[in-house]
Structure 1
């Protein structure tokens, strides 16, 4: 049963709802659809599943892009209604005929909707009945074929003395078993290869030539034999001599921590300098001039590739001058295909590039193309707007304000750094600490990486350079307990921020993911930062989706804590391959809060959304 059908504008004004249905929806499926799907450029999907306590809905939608209308149908997921797509199409057509931008009430559409719904239900039931009728002859034909097969088998046994008759019956039975005959006619199979809809004459000899394959094998065998013989001669000339082991009977030193500046006599043998490298790049406004760069790119492209500019220009000239009645999918496909390839060359995951193009196509389909406007430029502008919406944070990411709010509540602000191995969690944790220190915020580090050798010493070195306290308990300890004790220590000594360093772990390592989930559930941090590399492409999707999935599955809370923000490292090594930022934000919905761009403490900056979008599009 259909639960609800709504019609509203792109601006969020509800024009009509079905009073006949009148079902009260549990939760807020429409708001969730707008927030999680339509605003995040996932409108190219076929449907959206909404889960709430005691409710499981499926939502389907369609757009009237020229009028700026959205049509949404909501029904119970268990029902699998077949007529919803047809009903939405008919409602879209019927409502567009009576739509007036000045009107706000459409009570006269109730009777029209009732008729459209009855027509859609009748059409769906008729289609279902025709499918059931079509299944019966197929089953009868199968049964008849089995009877005929068994009959041929009896004839074959009875005529086993006749050679010619036995061969004929055997071939017929084989043809019936393979489905090439229904008793009336026999279809002969041919071994032909078809390439681009045409028969390939060279494929008549078979899939490959066995003689050529044997020759290649013999040639390859001779070559490999000669190589092996040469290698064996060279190895025989060089005699490998084993070095004698030297045993050292000296007693092992009691302490092997070479990062400790305290020597045997209690004197400092290592000089630790306080880190003062200037102002952090987080506080510097990055100036981005897009107009001059675009002009240079256009001039360069015209000078280097004059034929590429002319290609397709004359074909769209008359269409761009006169304008097009409405854009359809066939018009948009060439421009979207080129845009998808461009995004993939910038390191955007293929799956995400395809979904973005589908969403842009859904937002443009049916729109009227203005005069003197090319389809490619229209598609590019729509994609640019979509990328800005995705990369722009939908919530406040002002950490300094949140720190002061937590301080008013007499508790430290806790940030947990998580991620896979070797992405630079400890280094960028120190950069964040340096930035906070410049804003007069007291910071304490918590060494909760009790798994990797040298992790505690590495963080201790950063703490000495920055002259901030560090809480550590050594190795092979429970990181969740260490983090809890660190937060308690911060509350006692008045530290405003606790930066928790965790062990690197792959997204498929369940024991370590379980330990991470325990740390987050036990300590309830204010911010969970996922540290990821800007070098990855498709792997970014796998990392973030599985991290969130594991944190949700292993959580004991009904509302599991997922990743809140992203810290993107090694951003200075990728040139224009900035697609990882888009992939990570799209798959998780979390904003990029920090960008690491170097080895010093000042090399931490904000994400410039306009710069990223221009780099992805150009």
Structure 2
């Protein structure tokens, strides 16, 4: 049974709701659908599952892109209604006939909906009754047919059933000189399909008999590796040269440590690191060069499109416009866009979903005059990318810090991520940026797992001249973070930056410890630190981090990843796709971008620059 069905415009105006159903939905499935699917370019999916306390709904939808209408049906997930897709298609067809942009209410559509619903239910029942029942298959007969096709030209099984009877190999294949009779292409295909390319020597990982025959014939591969047993020409013998050490090496040549690090000298004077203004406070200027020239790949696709449809028809379509775009018209341009996104390090799954969503938003839309299909698709993709990468909430940390200060509590940021991405280094960059805005900062060394992690954070704290809370190694990081927050509350620190151990997304014990730290301390911001170098792995990392934080949480409202810090952004050239993959899979905005090794090398993500790089 349907729970709700409604029709609304792309701008959010509800035109019609089924009064006959009138069921009060638990939670807010429609709002969640708009926020999680339609605004995040996931509309290419077939359906969306909504979970809330005491509610489990499935939502299906369809678009009328020419009129800008959205048709949504909501029903209980356990029911598996088969007629919903058919009903939505009929509603779309009938409502488009009576639609008037000046009207805001369609109360007279209830009777039409009732008839369409009865028709869709009746059609689903007929389809269910007319569906043929699957008959049991005789496995022995089917197996015999496969053998007949796979070993055509070979002899059937004769006599005994053992491997050595009548020269057979035990599978009904006559053997001649140790090989299956009728060694045709079909035989090879069947052997490979059964995982036995050579049945007589399928013991190891490769064919030992072939290797022995090759050696017996004296066949040798080109000598690419020098034989250890071969004699070396004494005339060409290379002797190792002795290293010459300085008699009295200068200390300045070998010693690169800070003065305070030598012998634990706490009395040494350390000057606070001052490397200038952080790049976070500098506006990045994007060159406004004209982007009117089409990319070579798009030109190739348009030429292929012209060849398929004919010169005149393609020219007529680009000049006079087409009644509506079909999926076949969009496929060449979408394929070129997908390949381009993947070359820019966008995960394949994300690129495919984006193209499906763009196709769903353009299908049925009228092509403007003097416009190519490729140009229309690229413009739609650009709008989609800007919509995805633009934060949907405020990412002004300084404002949130001052709001927490008014409540007399520290603002807590937890840095999480996999091993070796640069959490501690970028934590120090964030601390340096906060110090420039007169915000008092305290570090919490909660990486009690990796050797040297506490000393590394202590060095940053000494250079920045900020306090650090540490308890050494092999301690519970959740308890260390809790005590650090209590200490920050006592001494009046505005921000607590919590450093955690790097962990792979599949490491169950460490992920459980991270979930405990987040649940126990309830931080204001959980910042995922990820490399800009990753491609498909970004999807796996973020999805599993969020999944573990949700599954291992002890509270019903589990806290997930709130923001992303991208590191090593200066090493990727134009391969900026990881930013898109991470934002798409998590819904969290990119709040910081690390682009160097000094404390000032931290900046904001420029959405226009990223989109321009992805599509050029």
Which bin holds the TM-score, normalised by the shorter protein? 0.7 to 0.9
Asked if the contact 1:316/1:374 (under 8 Å) is kept, the reply is no
Of the three residues 442, 445, 454, the one matched with 1:447 is 445
Superposed counterparts of 1:115-134, under 5 Å: 115-131=115-131, 134=132
Instruction: Tell me, in whole angstroms, the C-alpha distance in 1 between the residues paired with 2:466 and 2:314.
Output: 64
Asked if the contact 1:281/1:603 (under 8 Å) is kept, the reply is yes
Q: Which residue of 2 aligns with 1:231?
A: 228
Q: Which residue of 2 aligns with 1:90?
A: 90
Instruction: Tell me, in whole angstroms, the C-alpha distance in 2 between the residues paired with 1:335 and 1:435.
Output: 43
Distance 1:613 1:495, change over 3 A: same
Of the three residues 394, 399, 402, the one matched with 1:401 is 399
User: Which string of whole-angstrom CA distances, capped at 9 and with x for unpartnered residues, describes residues 561-618 of structure 1?
Assistant: 1000000000000000000000000000000000000000000000000000010011
Instruction: Tell me, in whole angstroms, the C-alpha distance in 1 between the residues paired with 2:614 and 2:453.
Output: 36
Superposed counterparts of 1:440-519, under 5 Å: 440-519=438-517
TM-score (norm 2): 0.81
Superposed counterparts of 1:197-596, under 5 Å: 214=210, 218=214, 222-223=219-220, 230-233=227-230, 261=260, 268=267, 272-292=270-290, 294=291, 312=305, 314=311, 316-596=314-594
Asked if the contact 2:532/2:566 (under 8 Å) is kept, the reply is yes
Paired residue secondary structure (2:520): helix
Distance 1:311 1:271, change over 3 A: farther
Distance 1:361 1:542, change over 3 A: same
Unaligned 5+ runs, structure 2: 146-157, 160-183, 188-196, 201-206, 238-256
User: Which string of whole-angstrom CA distances, capped at 9 and with x for unpartnered residues, describes residues 122-152 of structure 1?
Assistant: 0000000011xx217x35x869989xx9xxx
Number of residue pairs aligned between Structure 1 and Structure 2:
539
Instruction: Tell me, in whole angstroms, the C-alpha distance in 2 between the residues paired with 1:309 and 1:330.
Output: 13
Asked if the contact 1:578/1:612 (under 8 Å) is kept, the reply is yes
Asked if the contact 1:3/1:25 (under 8 Å) is kept, the reply is yes
Instruction: Tell me, in whole angstroms, the C-alpha distance in 1 between the residues paired with 2:535 and 2:577.
Output: 7
Distance 1:230 1:382, change over 3 A: same
Asked if the contact 2:570/2:596 (under 8 Å) is kept, the reply is yes
Q: Which residue of 2 aligns with 1:156?
A: none
Indicate the structure with greater helix content.
Answer: 1
Distance 1:563 1:263, change over 3 A: closer
Distance 1:389 1:307, change over 3 A: closer
Instruction: Tell me, in whole angstroms, the C-alpha distance in 2 between the residues paired with 1:305 and 1:383.
Output: 14
Instruction: Tell me, in whole angstroms, the C-alpha distance in 1 between the residues paired with 2:318 and 2:20.
Output: 45
Instruction: Tell me, in whole angstroms, the C-alpha distance in 1 between the residues paired with 2:547 and 2:530.
Output: 17
Distance 1:264 1:538, change over 3 A: closer
Q: Which residue of 2 aligns with 1:32?
A: 32
CA RMSD in angstroms comes to 3.3
Asked if the contact 1:290/1:614 (under 8 Å) is kept, the reply is no
Asked if the contact 2:445/2:499 (under 8 Å) is kept, the reply is yes
User: Which string of whole-angstrom CA distances, capped at 9 and with x for unpartnered residues, describes residues 359-399 of structure 1?
Assistant: 00000000000110000000000000000000000001100
Q: Which residue of 1 aligns with 2:10?
A: 10
Asked if the contact 1:58/1:76 (under 8 Å) is kept, the reply is yes
Instruction: Tell me, in whole angstroms, the C-alpha distance in 2 between the residues paired with 1:494 and 1:336.
Output: 55
Distance 1:225 1:400, change over 3 A: closer
Asked if the contact 2:49/2:57 (under 8 Å) is kept, the reply is yes
Paired residue secondary structure (1:230): coil
Instruction: Tell me, in whole angstroms, the C-alpha distance in 2 between the residues paired with 1:144 and 1:311.
Output: 50
User: Which string of whole-angstrom CA distances, capped at 9 and with x for unpartnered residues, describes residues 435-458 of structure 1?
Assistant: 000000000000111111111111
Q: Is 1:114 matched up with 2:141?
A: no
Asked if the contact 1:9/1:15 (under 8 Å) is kept, the reply is yes
Unaligned 5+ runs, structure 1: 150-162, 165-189, 194-206, 239-257
Distance 1:191 1:282, change over 3 A: same
Distance 1:267 1:449, change over 3 A: closer
Distance 1:235 1:556, change over 3 A: farther
Distance 1:537 1:463, change over 3 A: same
Instruction: Tell me, in whole angstroms, the C-alpha distance in 2 between the residues paired with 1:410 and 1:235.
Output: 78
Distance 1:498 1:324, change over 3 A: same
Instruction: Tell me, in whole angstroms, the C-alpha distance in 1 between the residues paired with 2:108 and 2:280.
Output: 57
Q: Which residue of 2 aligns with 1:196?
A: none
Asked if the contact 2:259/2:265 (under 8 Å) is kept, the reply is no
Asked if the contact 2:302/2:374 (under 8 Å) is kept, the reply is no
TM-score (norm 1): 0.81
Asked if the contact 2:346/2:581 (under 8 Å) is kept, the reply is yes
Instruction: Tell me, in whole angstroms, the C-alpha distance in 1 between the residues paired with 2:31 and 2:123.
Output: 31
